[in-house]
Amino acid sequence: EAQVTQNPRYLITVTGKKLTVTCSQNMNHEYMSWYRQDPGLGLRQIYYSMNVEVTDKGDVPEGYKVSRKEKRNFPLILESPSPNQTSLYFCASNGGLVNEQFFGPGTRLTVL
Amino acid sequence: AQSVTQLDSQVPVFEEAPVELRCNYSSSVSVYLFWYVQYPNQGLQLLLKYLSGSTLVESINGFEAEFNKSQTSFHLRKPSVHISDTAEYFCAVSEWGSNYKLTFGKGTLLTVNP
C-alpha cells in the first residue's frame, strides 16, 4: 500500500530535550515536505526537500532541522524544543509534475 | 507569492442542506488548485483537484468545485450534505513548475447538524 508513515504519532516532551520525528514514504517520490498545523492558521510549510541531500527552508523554519540522506526518509529534528513548537506536524511527499501531495497521519507534539 | 483565502472559518448547516465553502487565491502565474479534507483526529486527504481542462471537477462523494480564473476562485459545493461530511476543509494552491510548495488556506470547519 502506497503511504507516508510518521513516528511517533503522539509525543509529550520538555523544553530543551532534543527530539526527532521520522517520516518515510514508499512511493519513490522525489519531493518531501514538513508542515505544521495550528488552529486558525492552517498548514504552514517548515522545510522541503527536492531530492537526496537537497533541502531548503519553507515559511516557518526557525527551530527546526531536517536531513535527506535516503530518498524514502525525511526526519524532522527539534534540537531544543520550546513550548511554541507545540503543534500537529504532517509529513508529505509528491513525485509527479503536478504538486499533488500525499500526507502522513500526523504527529501531535506537546512541549512543556 | 501565492496566497489562499478561505472566507469562512466555520460553516454550520443542517443535514441535507446545500453548502458552499469559499476559496480565493492570489498568484502571478498559472496554478493548480486542491481541496483537502481532514476528518476529526485524522490526517489530510485529497478531496479533489483542478489541474487543467474542464473547470468543474468532482469528487467521488458528491462534492464539486469550479475553477474561475477571472475571479481567482475555487469554491467547493455539495447539493446535500450528510452528518459524515463534518470535517475541516482546506483549499490549497500550487504554482505551475513548483513541485515543493503547497500554500494552504486557514481552513473551514464544516459542521453538519441533524
Q: Give B39-93 pLDDT, tens digit per residue.
A: 988 889 999 999 888 889 989 889 999 999 999 999 999 999 999 999 999 999 9
- Residue B82: all three cell numbers together: 450528510
Rg (CA), chain A: 13
What length does chain B have?
114
Distance to chain B for A41, nearest Cα, Å: 5
Q: Which of B9, B45, B98 sits opposite A99 (nearest CB)?
A: B98
Say how far apart CA A58 and CA A79 lie, in whole Å: 18
CB contact under 8 A, A30 and B99: yes
Distance to chain A for B83, nearest Cα, Å: 22
CB contact at 8 A, B102 and B93:
yes
Q: How confident is the model at residue B1 (pLDDT cuts 50, 70, 90)?
A: confident
Q: Looking at residue B101, what is its pLDDT?
A: 82
What are A24-49's pLDDT values in tens digits? Answer: 999 999 999 999 999 889 999 999 99
Q: In chain B, positions 2-61, which contact chain A (CB-CB < 8 Å)?
A: 6, 9, 32, 34, 36, 42-46, 49, 51
CB pairs under 8 A between A and B: 63
Q: Looking at residue A59, what is its pLDDT?
A: 92
